[in-house]
Structure 1
Amino acid sequence: MSALAAVLVATVLGQGYYSPEEAQGLFQQANEAFYKQDYAAARTGYEKLLARGFGGPDLQYNLGTTYLAQDDLGHAVLAFERSRREGGEAPDLEANLALARARQLDKVVGTGPEGSFLQRVVAATSGNGAAWGFLGAWLAGCFFFLLFWLLRPGKRAWAAVLGGLLLILSLPAGALLAAHVWVHETLHEAVVIAPTLRAREFPREEAKVSFEVHPGLKVRVMEDAGRYVRIRLPNGLEGWAEREGVAEI
């Protein structure tokens, strides 16, 4: 065994790798602990799975429900938002997310992260669906155009028409796919997890505090500067806050 391979094996073992069967067992144990109202044990189990690379909307939803039971609003909203972003469709997901937000201290009204039309479109559609739709329509269109050149004159007009229609149909799917990519790459949403997060005028500790926000509030991260990030509230208010006080969705 090479030195590099030995290091990799030692790293995996040191991280406590779980097989799929072990992960499923731990997930069930955490679920049982939750039903017994042993929220600390349930939280520990779910967090262990996340730390070992296991995730998914169901795990995020269960973890969010556990956080909510412990009144940890910041992490509850964060987990619910991550579950929703990963395609979660649990019947109670939206209800529990609304319940967590109702308990928030900050009631900020505006048209920020929640009000963006492009973000609403992206949230309501599937990125994978847009990708497959664009690829399928484009490839099918190219196939029929190739078929047009292979067929004899007088018997190939239909192939050109069908190919053109398919390429036209690929345009909206391509635009939707581009929207998903743009939102994913440029719009970074986060949730406040600090008990009290102070936003300052400048990214320095001695700078004047502009406002304070509290756990569970959804914000947008605009840029970062060392230990600080510039956040924007749903009402458009901006300030520099400590990076550790927010967690990106």
Structure 2
Amino acid sequence: MSAITAILVATLLGQAYYSPEEAQLLFQQANESFLKQDYATAREGYEKLLSRGFGGPDIHYNLGTTYLSQGDLGRAVLAFERSRRAGGEGPDLEANLATARARQLDKVVGTAPEEPFLQRVVAATSGNLVAWLFLGTWLAAFAFLLLFFVLRPGRRAWAAVVGGLLLTASLPSGALLAAHVWVHETLHEAVVIAPTLRAREFPKEEAKVAFEVHPGLKVRVMEETGRYVRIRLPNGLEGWAEREGVAEI
């Protein structure tokens, strides 16, 4: 490797990485900028952290409040939803998300067909709770089975019984965890970020416009082709829109 190449690699690595201390400092500086109502600087700080791999719920939440303060409803809702996806929760998150949605232009009328049973179950359960439940019961079952081999014969039957029961108990939570993973990988939700997003009947520019939607509306991406994606509104209405007009959560 030449000296010039080494310098370039070192420069790129330096630009792509923050130490935990540097990340914490940048996070604090962005928070201070937000309190001073310097929203542009605050947003830049939060986005730098996200671009370098620091994507916790707090960073997404603070970025959402910054966008909301700037009036960018689309990116505000997107950041709040990503905070949720990363495990964020609490009354402040829900209140700000409700505030952003109340300012949206689109009031979708009508109801969509009922979701499949599996998706309804996943929506009604916490992915984090299911994961911890499965991990806890599985590890406990493994511990009792190890204990079975440690105890002397004649005094270890109870460990096998308890381990077997815990292992059996871990199966439902394991299945539910697999359902969460499957839905997460196959169900693509997005938020409209374009000022006006036109959905057409076909994925062609000359196709008739079926409807228009605006920033902040949460939609589902059903499929994609070229520069178009087929989106479904909460009421079940579908159309083809330009990919750049939406951002996946």
What's the TM-score once normalised by structure 2's chain length? 0.86
Find out whether 1:36 has 2:36 as its counterpart. Answer: yes
Q: Percent identity?
A: 76
C-alpha displacement of 1:198: 0.7
Question: What is the alpha-carbon distance in structure 2 between the residues aligned to residue 149 and residue 16 of structure 1?
Answer: 49
In the TM superposition, residue 202 of structure 1 has moved relative to its aligned partner by 1.2
Structure 2: stretches of 5+ with no match in the other structure: none
- Deviation of residue 138 (structure 1)? 3.3
1:95 and 2:95 aligned: yes
Determine the C-alpha separation between the residues in 1 that align with 2:229 and 2:64.
25
Does the 8 A contact of 2:23 with 2:49 survive in 1?
A: yes
The worse-fitting range, judged by mean Cα deviation, of 208-217 and 47-56 is: 47-56
- For structure 1, the 5+ residue unaligned runs are none
Distance of 2:28 and 2:182 partners within structure 1: 37
AA aligned to 1:92 is D
- 1:93-125 deviations in Å (ceiling 9; x for gaps): 000000000001111143479995234224x34
Deviations 1:199-228 (A, max 9, x none): 111111111111111000001111110111
Cα RMSD after superposing both structures: 2.8
Cα–Cα, structure 1 residues 20 and 164, in superposed 2: closer, same or farther, change >3 Å? closer
Q: Does 1:181 align with 2:184?
A: no
Q: Is the 8 A contact 1:188 1:222 kept in 2?
A: yes
In structure 2, give the amino acid aligned to 1:192: V
Q: Conserved in 2, the CA contact under 8 Å of 1:112 and 1:234?
A: no
2:206 aligns with 206
Aligned to 1:25: 25
Equivalent residues of 2:143, 2:163 under 8 A apart? yes
Secondary structure of the 1:92 match is helix
CA contact (8 A) 1:58 1:90 kept: no
When residues 142 and 63 of structure 1 are mapped into structure 2, their CA distance, relative to the original with a 3 A threshold, is closer
CA gap of 1:112–1:60, structure 2 versus 1, over 3 A, is farther
8 Å CA contact 2:127, 2:177 repeated in 1: no
Q: Structure 2: which amino acid aligns with 1:12? A: L
Instruction: Kindly indicate whether the alpha-carbon contact (under 8 Å) linking 1:112 and 1:233 is maintained by their aligned counterparts in 2.
Output: no
**SS of the residue 1:202 aligns to:** coil
Partner of 1:120: 123
Partner of 1:172: 172
* Higher deviation after alignment, 111-120 or 69-78: 111-120
Report the more deviating stretch, 67-76 or 166-175: 166-175
- Mean Cα deviation higher: 41-50 or 98-107: 41-50
Determine the C-alpha separation between the residues in 1 that align with 2:150 and 2:121.
42
* 2:49 is equivalent to residue 49 of structure 1: yes
Q: Which moved more, 1:227-236 or 1:175-184?
A: 175-184
CA 46–136 in structure 1, closer or farther in 2 if over 3 Å, else same: closer
User: What is the deviation of 1:51?
Assistant: 2.1
Query: Structure 1 residue 27: deviation in Å?
Result: 1.6
What is the identity, as a one-letter code, of the residue corresponding to 1:121? A
Q: Distance in 2 between matches of 1:19 and 1:149?
A: 44
Answer yes or no: is the 8 Å Cα contact 1:113–1:219 preserved in 2: no
Letter in 1 for 2:108: V
Q: Is the 8 A contact 1:74 1:193 kept in 2?
A: yes
Matched residues in 2 for 1:149 and 1:43: separation?
57
Say which SS state the counterpart of residue 97 (structure 1) adopts. helix
Cα gap change, 1:119 to 1:193, in 2 (>3 Å): farther
Give 1:232 deviation, angstroms. Answer: 0.8
Q: Which moved more, 1:41-50 or 1:131-140?
A: 131-140
What amino acid sits opposite 1:117 in the alignment?
Answer: R
Cα distance in 2, alignment partners of residues 31 and 57 from structure 1: 14
Bigger CA drift: 165-174 or 95-104? 165-174
